[in-house]
Amino acid sequence: MAEPTNDVWIPSPGEPCYITGLADCFELALASGDFPPFERLLVLLDDQRAILAMVPEPDPFLVAGPGHARGPAVIRPVAATLLLTHGSVEMPSTDPMEVHWFAVMRDSHARQGVELIDWIVIDVTTGNYRSLALASDGP
């Protein structure tokens, strides 16, 4: 497992990037192949769903508590998140533990006033992707 880092990727202020729905989540997941290598990537979004920051190998406390995120990259409160992770994606089945942890994280985020839009598992070996939002309760 990769260790948490202090790296934070911040989009250019003049060119905001928005994650407005599942299509944007998958578009970012597909583009993530061009990013530096990561096992987990937490995307922090503001209330307009503009990307505030992307945090590779985030500290578990940040993943569990994005509503409490502070620092130079977080210039506005975090209103939503997207999590991208690498793992095995066996098609068409879904790992029940992944769906369970997605529900736990979504509830934890909601108690902080933050929406967990999706958790997308990327299988770099097969090229398959899995949306845990779709696996847990559909679109």
Q: How confident is the model at residue 93 (pLDDT cuts 50, 70, 90)?
A: low
Residue 138 has pLDDT above 50, yes or no: yes
CA nearest neighbour of 47 among 81, 9, 12 = 81
Q: Can you tell me the distance from the alpha carbon of 117 to that of 9, in angstroms, rounded to the nearest whole number?
A: 19
pLDDT at 41: 93
Beta bridge partners, 80, equal 45, 115
- In tens, the pLDDT along 37-85 reads 889 999 999 999 999 889 899 888 888 878 776 665 556 688 999 999 9
Residue 2 has pLDDT above 50, yes or no: no
Q: Can you tell me the distance from the alpha carbon of 16 to that of 7, in angstroms, rounded to the nearest whole number?
A: 19
Cβ atoms within 10 Å of 15's Cβ, excluding its own: 6
Query: Full-prediction pTM beyond 0.85?
Result: no
Q: Can you tell me the distance from the alpha carbon of 48 to that of 87, in angstroms, rounded to the nearest whole number?
A: 30
Task: Give 47's DSSP letter.
Answer: T
pLDDT at 40: 92
Q: Can you tell me the distance from the alpha carbon of 138 to that of 135, in angstroms, rounded to the nearest whole number?
A: 6
